[in-house]
Amino acid sequence: MRLEQNYRDVIRRIDAASARAGRPSEKVTLVAVTKSAEPDWIRELIGLGAGDLGESRPQQLVERTEQISGPVRWHLVGHLQRNKARRVLPLVSLIHSVDSLRLLSALERLGDEMNLEPRVLLEVNISGEARKHGFTPDELTAHWDEVLACRHVRIEGLMTMAPLSDDPETSRPVFRGLRELRDRLAAASPPSFTLPHLSMGMSDDFEAAIEEGATIVRIGTSLFEGLTSNA
């Protein structure tokens, strides 16, 4: 009951934010981040229609894909160590969190070797917080030729995390900054390289993110709050 209410409420808020932004709501993909969820909750969520699930830790993603079956696309939203990439690559639909050229070239080599074309987003540290993973905007711009040289990895857009805050308006300039960076990078790329996706917005700020152009929102807490663990 509670999960269904939470899910319907999140969908309603995504639709409303999309309408405010004058964008069709089917342009925004909800990734349900399941890192704190019981397996039963995840199964119920899939039954309600959630088709995109995300985990932040590679090991937990591997375990989830063993626990949970069904028509699900898995997303890795957290840091990927290069030595975990081989295990995770065949399981994921989209890696949101490619945060270094070293990881990108490791994925490029694995894509070649495993005959895969991994779909990825590049994580950018727009807010400039020292503890955060991700490229700085300057770094990404300076190395853009190396990004464009990838032949196996499919780079579909950018991802960012806003600073923790109670006020979604503090996230808005970060989201806008990611969109503007995407526009500049796309303009510096061949026409076929459009970086269509912006993964930005979590439980506390996904509406502002959609208004600023998010095509993917990553939501955990708002879906699972109020549920009691039976463990």
Segment lying near ligand PLP (by CB under 6 A), choices 22-30, 43-51, 128-136, 218-226: 218-226
Asked whether 55 and 33 are in contact (CB, 8 A), the reply is: yes
Q: Does 200 bind ligand PLP (CB under 6 A)?
A: no
Inter-CA distances, 71 with 35, 37, 53, 222, Å: 19, 18, 10, 23
The contact mask relative to ligand PLP for 123-162 (x = CB under 6 A, - = no) is: --------------------------------------x-
Alpha helices of the chain — where are they, by DSSP H? 2-20, 39-48, 58-67, 85-88, 101-114, 137-142, 144-148, 168-187, 206-211, 221-224
Inter-CA distances, 42 with 34, 113, 135, 172, 196, Å: 7, 33, 32, 30, 28
Residue count, binding to ligand PLP (CB under 6 A): 14
**Please, what is the minimum distance in Å from the beta carbon of residue 162 to ligand PLP?**
10
Segment lying near ligand PLP (by CB under 6 A), choices 59-67, 103-111, 139-147, 213-221: 213-221
Ordered DSSP codes for 11-40: HHHHHHHHHHTT--GGGSEEEEE-TT--HH
| Binding to ligand PLP in span 47-66, by CB under 6 A | 56
Nearer to ligand PLP, 99 or 211 (CB): 99
What is residue 95's three-state secondary structure? Answer: strand
Nearer to ligand PLP, 33 or 92 (CB): 33
**Please, what is the minimum distance in Å from the beta carbon of residue 149 to ligand PLP?**
27
Q: Does 92 bind ligand PLP (CB under 6 A)?
A: no
Q: Does 28 bind ligand PLP (CB under 6 A)?
A: no
Q: Does 203 bind ligand PLP (CB under 6 A)?
A: yes
Q: Does 221 bind ligand PLP (CB under 6 A)?
A: yes
Asked whether 83 and 96 are in contact (CB, 8 A), the reply is: no
Segment lying near ligand PLP (by CB under 6 A), choices 80-88, 106-114, 135-143, 198-206: 198-206
End-to-end alpha carbon distance in the chain: 19
Q: Which residues would be at the binding site for ligand PLP (CB under 6 A)? A: 33, 35, 56, 77-78, 161, 202-204, 218-222
